[in-house]
Structure 1
C-alpha cells in the first residue's frame, strides 16, 4: 500500500539523518527544520502519519470554516505555516475524506498538489509542492477544502438528539488520528502546532473551541450567520484542536473556571462540577503552575464517545459523569491532570500512549487524595488495580505484547487499538512503584521538574527513562534494579514489585458479597455506602446467580434504574449473562441513551457472548442505537456485532 511505502521512505530519511548527525555531518543538521531532537530518534517515527517532519513540518494552522448543518460539512480553508529545509521541495500532510479544491502560496499563486491512495486506517497523503520562503523566513500554504458528511472526527446531531430539542449540535473528537478528517495538517502527536480559527455558524448557535476566545459573542456574518474566533498561542498536538457548536450557555465556577453546556443542563452540571477551581489549585500545589489560562468544562450530549477529552482550556466531558453526588468527579481530576501529562508533555507517537494516560491516572489519584482524602483515593486506586487485572486478561494474558507499556502498533492496526486500560492502570502502577522506592517527597520534586524540563515538547518512553536515570536514579544501580524500569516499560505483564494500593473499606464489602453469595439475606448487604463500595460489592459477586437473588438486590437497591452510570454498568455486566429480564430492559434503555464507548462496547460484547438470545438482543438494540453513536464508538461496536456498513 502507498502508506507503507511513504512511511518507510520517511523512516529511512529520519534514520539516515540520525546517522549523518552521528558522523558529524553538520551541514545536514543546519539544513533541517528546527524540529525537536526527540523527533529525530528512531523510536519517535510516527508510522501512523504520512508526515516527514525532518524535511518539512507544520508549525501553525489557521482555519476559516463555515458550518453547514444541512449538508453536514465544514468548508473553507486552512493556512499552514511550514518550517522546511531550504532544499525541501514538498510537504506531506494527513487527510481523510477531504475534498481539496485548491492549494496556493502566501501570494495566492497555485501550488501543485496530489492526493495519494486512500488507506482505510490512515486516510490519504496530501503532497504539496512548496513555494518560496516568505519575508519571515517561513513558507505558507493555503488549502481550500470541505469535509465529508462522514468525517470520522465529527458528529452532527439533530435537534431531537440534544437536550433542548430545538437546535442542532456539532462536536469533534480528534484522538487519536481523526482530526485529519476535518483539518489538513500533519496529524501526529509529536508535531506540535499553534493554531487560530474562525468558525462561522448559524445565528442562535455558539461555537466553542480549545483555545482562547477572541469573540465571546461572535461577530455578525452574512446570511444570518455569526463568526467566532479562537487562538491557541502554545504549541499543541494536532489531536487537541477541538470544536463544538450548539445552543450553549456558560456559568462560572471560579475566577478561571466554568461550565459550558446546553441551557437545560447548566444548573445540574454547574452543581456537579462546582469544585473546578479547587481541582486546579490542588493540581498546581502538586506539580506546578497551570499554564493554559482558563480551565473550563463543556458537558456534551450523551453520544460523546469518551468519559472526557483533555482539550486545552476546554475539557469535553460526558454527562454520564453526573451522578448527583459528585461521586464520579475523578473523571474531571483525570482530564485536568492531562494539562501537565499529555498536553504539556505529549507522547511523540501512539506507541507511547501510556506517557499520557499512565502519568495522568497517577496524577488524578493524587488530586483526589488531596481534595477528598486518602480513603476515597485508596478505594479508587484499588478499583483501578482490579480494572488492570481484567484488562490483562482481555488482552490475552500477561504474556501478551499488548500488555506492554511501550507498544509497537503496526500499520495494519489503528492507534486506537492501543488505548486500553493497560496504558492507564499499568502506567499509574509503574509510577506508584517508583514513588514507593524513592519516597513521595523526592518523587514529587522529580515530577515537577520533569514537567518543567519538557514543557510543550513531545516525549518517548526511551526519553522518559533517560530522564529518569539522569535526574532521579543518578547512577544508583541498586535503586534501578529495585524498580526494574526497563521491565516495566518494555516487557508484558505486571512485574512482581508492583505496588497495590488497597482500601481499608473493601474487606467488609468483600465479606458482604461473599455472605450474600452463600445465601445470606439481602437485608445484610450494606446500604449506606459510597459509589466505589457499591461497585466493589457488585464486582465481587459470582458471575452466575439465581434470578431470585438478583431480583432481591434490584428490589432493594434499584440498580437497574440508577442514574449513576458506573454502578449501572457493573450491574448490567453481572445480570445480562444471567438473562435477567429487568436488566435486559435496563441495558436497552442505557445503550440507547448514551454512547460512551467504555460502557457501550463491553455491554455489546457481553450480549454477543450469550448465544442466540443475547446476539439477537444486541443486534436489535444496535440497529436502533447506531445512528446516535459517534464514529469512535460505532467503529468499535461494528466489529463486535458484525455490522456491515451496507446495512
Structure 2
C-alpha cells in the first residue's frame, strides 16, 4: 500500500512538473530592460485586437485594445501607459481591477491589471489625451493639398504607449488586427495589409500576420491616393505630390530585388511608402509593409533615395531581427546603414555608395567631437537607464556601427561576411537579440570558424573609434576638394566642374569651406549657384548652417532660414540649424524663430529642440 501510494504521489509530481515545464517552455525568455514597466516573464501579450475611432474634431483616439496573453501563473499583468485615459479593463470579458502606478517623466505609468492563472485575454477601454506624444494632428494648412486634416503616429522609441496601452518593449513581439473608423472622406493605412482605395463609410480593417515590436505599430489618416510601382511596391501620397513621389521612388522594386540577392527573401510581402507632411520628425520610419517618409527627400533627381534603401534594409535589420533593448540600438541602425550602402552600390555603383559612406564618416566625426565630454556615449553598447532612449539615436549607432561592420567585412572578406549576415538574418528571423548574443554568434559563426582575430570588444564596449577602422575613399570628393582649393586661390569657381554634381558632392562642397571663409566669398558662391533658394532640402540645410556659422545675410537668406524651420519638422535638419545658432551665440534669434515653428513640430522634434535651446512653454 505504501509503495502504491508512493508511486501515485511520484506520478502526480512528475505530471505536475511536466505541465509546469511545458508551460514555461511555451513562453519566450525576456531579459530585464529599463525602458518598460512590463514584466513579460510573468505575463506577456502575444496578439492585439485594436478597435478605435479617430476623432479629428476633438483630436483624440478612443476605443479598446484587446490582448491575448501568455500567463506564467501570474496574478497581474503590467502594461505601459503614458498620458492615456484608462476607462475600464476586462479579463476574459469580465470587469477586473486595475491601477496606474506612479508617473515617470520618461516612462509614463505602469498599468497593473489583475488576472487569474487561466486568464487568456485582457481588454482595455481607453482614449488618448492632448498630451499624447505619438500623435500629430495636422490642420489642412499643414498638408500638401491644404484641403483636409491629417494624422500620423510615431512610436519609436517608447511612444507607442502614448496612443495604445501596451507592453512597450522592443523584445515584445506581437501580431495584430485592427478596426479603425475615420471620417468618410479620408483614408487610413497602418503597418499592416492596407487598402489601395478609400472605403466609403470610413471603416477600415487591418491585419499584421507577422510578429512585430510595439514601436512598429503605425497609423496614418488623411486624404491621399495610391500609385503602384510593381506588384509589391507603391506610393501613398497626397494628390499634389503623388506623381513626383512616384518618379522619385521608382527604383523601389529594383531595391527590393537587390536586397533579396544579398541577404534572402523579403519577408513582409508588400513594401510601400507613404509620403507624410513635412512635419514628420524623421527622414523615414521603417514600419513593416509601409515605410513613413518625409517629403524632404523628394529632390526631383532621385539623389536622396538612399533613405528608401535604408528603410528597406530595416526589413531585415530591425524589423526581422530586432534590438532587444534600446541599449542595443546599434544592432538596428549600424547593420541597416551597412545594408543600405550595399544596396546603393549594387544599383548605382561604388562611387555613389562611397560618397554616402564618406558623408556618414564626417557625421560621425562631428558626433565624436560633440561627445568629447561624454565618452561613454560613443560606445556602441550603451547604458541608457534613467535616460530617454532617443539619446542613443545618433551617428554613433548609425555610422560607428556601420564602420565596425565595414571594417569587419574588409578583414574577413566580402564573400564570407555576406554568408555570415545571411545566416544571421535567417537564424534570428522574427526574434530579438542583444549585443552579447550577437557577439557570441559572430565569434562562433565567423571569427572562430575561420580563425580570424578581430578587436570586437574594443569596437563595441570602448569609447571612440579604434585605429583599425576602414578608410573610406571617394574619388568624386577629391574632385570637389580641388574645386574648393581653386576657389580659395582664385575667388572663382569653374561652373562646368559642378555641372553633373550629385547632392552628395554639393553637400561635401558646402561642408568643407575653409573655416575662415569671408562673407563676400559666400556671396560669390551664392550668386553663382543660388544655394539660398535650393529646392534640395539637404543642400539647403548645410548651406544655412554655413551661413549662420559665418554671419552671411545675403540673398534674403534670413527669411529663407526662418521659412525652412517653420515648414520642415525633420529633427536632423532643424536641430542642425538650431545648433548652429546656439554655437554662434545667436540663441535669441533661434528662440524667436522656434516660437513660431514649434506648433508645426511633432513631439519628437519639439522635445529635442526644447532641451537644446532651453525653451520653456510657460
Q: TM-score, normalised by structure 2?
A: 0.94
1:410 matched to 2:385: yes
Deviates more, 1:450-459 or 1:509-518: 509-518
Specify which of 446, 462, 472 is matched with residue 491 of structure 1.
462
2:511 corresponds to: 539
Specify which of 78, 91, 100 is matched with residue 105 of structure 1.
91
Distance 2:78 2:426 in 1: 32
Distance 1:467 1:185 in 2: 31
1:282 corresponds to: 258
1:36 corresponds to: 28
1:645 matched to 2:600: no
- Kindly report which structure 2 residues correspond to 1:48-197, keeping only aligned pairs within 5 A, or say none: 48-85=35-72, 87-106=73-92, 108-131=93-116, 133=118, 139-197=120-178
Shift of 1:520: 3.2
Distance 1:591 1:599 in 2: 9
Specify which of 394, 398, 404 is matched with residue 420 of structure 1.
394
2:483 corresponds to: 512
Contact 2:75 2:117 in 1 (8 A): no
Specify which of 553, 557, 579 is matched with residue 529 of structure 2.
557
Contact 1:306 1:596 in 2 (8 A): yes
Specify which of 342, 348, 351 is matched with residue 375 of structure 1.
351
Q: Per the alignment, do residues 511 and 214 of structure 1 end up closer, same or farther by CA in structure 2, a change over 3 Å counting?
A: closer
Deviates more, 1:523-532 or 1:552-561: 523-532
Q: Across the two proteins, how many residue pairs are aligned to each other?
A: 599
Distance 2:21 2:539 in 1: 56
Distance 2:391 2:496 in 1: 39
1:631 corresponds to: 603
1:598 corresponds to: 572
Contact 2:480 2:509 in 1 (8 A): yes
Q: Per the alignment, do residues 469 and 489 of structure 1 end up closer, same or farther by CA in structure 2, a change over 3 Å counting?
A: same
1:474 matched to 2:448: yes
Q: TM-score, normalised by structure 1?
A: 0.90
Shift of 1:616: 2.5
1:210 corresponds to: 191
Specify which of 433, 453, 462 is matched with residue 427 of structure 2.
453
Shift of 1:512: 1.9
Q: Per the alignment, do residues 428 and 418 of structure 1 end up closer, same or farther by CA in structure 2, a change over 3 Å counting?
A: same
1:239 matched to 2:215: yes
Contact 2:47 2:174 in 1 (8 A): yes
Contact 2:79 2:166 in 1 (8 A): yes
Q: Per the alignment, do residues 445 and 96 of structure 1 end up closer, same or farther by CA in structure 2, a change over 3 Å counting?
A: same
2:9 corresponds to: none
2:5 corresponds to: none
Distance 1:490 1:550 in 2: 42
Contact 1:32 1:55 in 2 (8 A): no
- 2:166 partner SS: coil
Distance 2:27 2:307 in 1: 34
- Residue-by-residue CA offset, 1:539-585 (whole Å, 9 max, x unaligned): 11123321210000001111111011111111111111222113322
Shift of 1:119: 0.6
Q: Per the alignment, do residues 576 and 463 of structure 1 end up closer, same or farther by CA in structure 2, a change over 3 Å counting?
A: same
Contact 2:197 2:226 in 1 (8 A): no
Q: Per the alignment, do residues 193 and 219 of structure 1 end up closer, same or farther by CA in structure 2, a change over 3 Å counting?
A: farther
- 1:526 partner SS: helix
- Residue-by-residue CA offset, 1:501-531 (whole Å, 9 max, x unaligned): 2111112211221332345323478321121
Distance 2:416 2:538 in 1: 35
Structure 2: 5+ residue runs without aligned partners? 1-16
- 2:421 partner SS: helix
Shift of 1:79: 0.1
Contact 1:517 1:541 in 2 (8 A): no
Q: Per the alignment, do residues 28 and 401 of structure 1 end up closer, same or farther by CA in structure 2, a change over 3 Å counting?
A: farther
1:342 matched to 2:328: no
Contact 1:514 1:541 in 2 (8 A): no
RMSD: 1.7
